[in-house]
Chains A and B, each alone.
Chain A
Amino acid sequence: MSLIFRLAGRQACNQFLKNEKTGLLNFIRPVTLQAKPAQPPVKEGHDERNMRLKRPQSPHLTIYAPQLTSMLSISHRATGMVLGAYAVGLGMGALVFPDDIPCWVEALECYNPALLTSVKFMLSFPLTYHFWNGIRHLIWDTGKFLTIKEVYLTGYAMLALAISTSIALTVM
């Protein structure tokens, strides 16, 4: 620092300091510190914070391209909701028509066999998908298989397993 000030005293360097491009004098400005009582931290939620920082919703779905990772993630949620809807449907149905449900199941024999096949698929696919991908989620929760390469590898393996077990159950 002292070297800078000594140099600053010299005529030649004075020019240099005032020079528009290199001008060091532009760096020098007075700073006043004012003591203020500490303010209590303001509580701010995830959304408020992102709005204050003018951040868009993430992931920005109209910009972000669909990827295997995000698609498998949202379909785990979707299959979970479908299975949940089945459970709620059976439970609520049992409150109103407990004795009718077994008869409805028997009635499936009377229709076009395609109906029974599609019922089997609609029951088995969400379950096999959610089952195998649930294992994947639980392994992630232990901190394993979290590199991008492993996430893709286990993703394809899970898809193959989910589709094949679901087809096997459907034609059974």
Chain B
Amino acid sequence: MALSLIFKNSARTQVLSKLPANLLKVKPVNTRVFSQLLNNANTTKGSLVSVVSKNVIAKRVMSGDHSKLWPIEKGVAIALLGVVPATFLMPNVILDDVFAVMVVMHAHWGFEACAVDYIRPIIFGAAIPKISLGIIYVISALTLGGLIYYNHHSAGIGKTIRRIWELEPKQTAKN
């Protein structure tokens, strides 16, 4: 607090130390600068004390420490660059499962980021943001379970998408 006062006043003493040059010229050159300063001084005069006491240190609370998870998120995104095309080019159960696990992780973090950005406590209150993060966990878990089940008990992700590109529409065949 005292420091802020010193800083405020030092701006003024700097102005003062420049004065003698103007004083010797008798006609002060930059009266406008002074009058502006005075305006500032007048407006802050009444409230300076309260301004200083209002100056409570506010510690900004951002979301928690993300430095450990961040490299993992980026690692998964880089791996997806290879896993996603590979799964569609040469579908097999192992790639299907790797695809399922990595895509669900990646999309889960993506949904989480969107929930944190848009479903904020200041708009929705304390409960809803937490509930929506919980719902995202449930959705991700069900999705992963469903995809793994599909890979092992049905066609699998890679073959299903690939099949869409292998289809021959009958109507074009007729034409």
Residues of A within 8 A of B (CB): 1, 3-4, 7, 13, 16, 21-24, 26-27, 29, 31, 33, 36, 39, 41-49, 51-52, 77, 80-81, 83-84, 87-88, 90-95, 98-99, 101-102, 105-106, 108-113, 116, 119-120, 123, 127, 131, 134-135, 137-138, 141, 169, 172
Q: Can you show 5 pairs from A to B with CB atoms below 8 A apart?
A: A7-B20, A13-B23, A27-B12, A27-B41, A138-B74
Q: How many residues of B contact A (CB 8 A)?
A: 69
Contacting A87 at CB < 8 Å: which of B2, B53, B78, B107?
B107
Contacts of B163 in A (CB 8 A): 102, 105-106
Are B31 and A21 in contact, with the CB atoms below 8 A?
yes
Are B34 and A135 in contact, with the CB atoms below 8 A?
no
- Asked, given contacts A87-B107, A99-B154, whether A120 binds B58 with beta carbons under 8 Å apart, the answer is no
Are B107 and A80 in contact, with the CB atoms below 8 A?
yes
Are A102 and B41 in contact, with the CB atoms below 8 A?
no
Contacting B60 at CB < 8 Å: which of A27, A45, A84?
A45
Q: How far is the CB of A133 from chain B (nearest CB, A)?
A: 11
Query: Who on chain A is nearest to B22 by CB?
Result: A22
Are A102 and B155 in contact, with the CB atoms below 8 A?
yes
Q: How far is the CB of A117 from chain B (nearest CB, A)?
A: 9
Q: How far is the CB of A105 from chain B (nearest CB, A)?
A: 5
Contacting B146 at CB < 8 Å: which of A22, A93, A116, A131?
A93
Q: How far is the CA of A3 from the CA of B98 in the complex (A)?
A: 81
Q: How far is the CB of A158 from chain B (nearest CB, A)?
A: 14
Contacts of A42 in B (CB 8 A): 56-59
Contacts of B10 in A (CB 8 A): none
- Asked, given contacts A21-B31, A87-B143, A134-B77, whether A26 binds B38 with beta carbons under 8 Å apart, the answer is yes
Are A109 and B59 in contact, with the CB atoms below 8 A?
no
Q: How far is the CA of A1 from the CA of B154 in the complex (A)?
A: 89
Q: How far is the CA of A138 from the CA of B154 in the complex (A)?
A: 34
B51 at the interface (CB under 8 A from A): no
- Asked, given contacts A22-B31, A84-B107, A105-B160, whether A90 binds B171 with beta carbons under 8 Å apart, the answer is no
Are A29 and B110 in contact, with the CB atoms below 8 A?
no
B161 at the interface (CB under 8 A from A): yes
Query: Who on chain A is nearest to B20 by CB?
Result: A3
Docked complex: B63-119 residues within 8 A CB-CB of A:
74, 77-78, 80-81, 84, 100, 103-104, 107, 110-111, 114
Query: Who on chain A is nearest to B42 by CB?
Result: A26
Contacts of B53 in A (CB 8 A): 36
Q: How far is the CB of A7 from chain B (nearest CB, A)?
A: 6
Are A134 and B167 in contact, with the CB atoms below 8 A?
no
Contacts of A135 in B (CB 8 A): 81
Query: Who on chain B is nearest to A38 by CB?
Result: B57
Contacting A91 at CB < 8 Å: which of B1, B19, B56, B142?
B142
Q: How far is the CB of B49 from chain A (nearest CB, A)?
A: 8
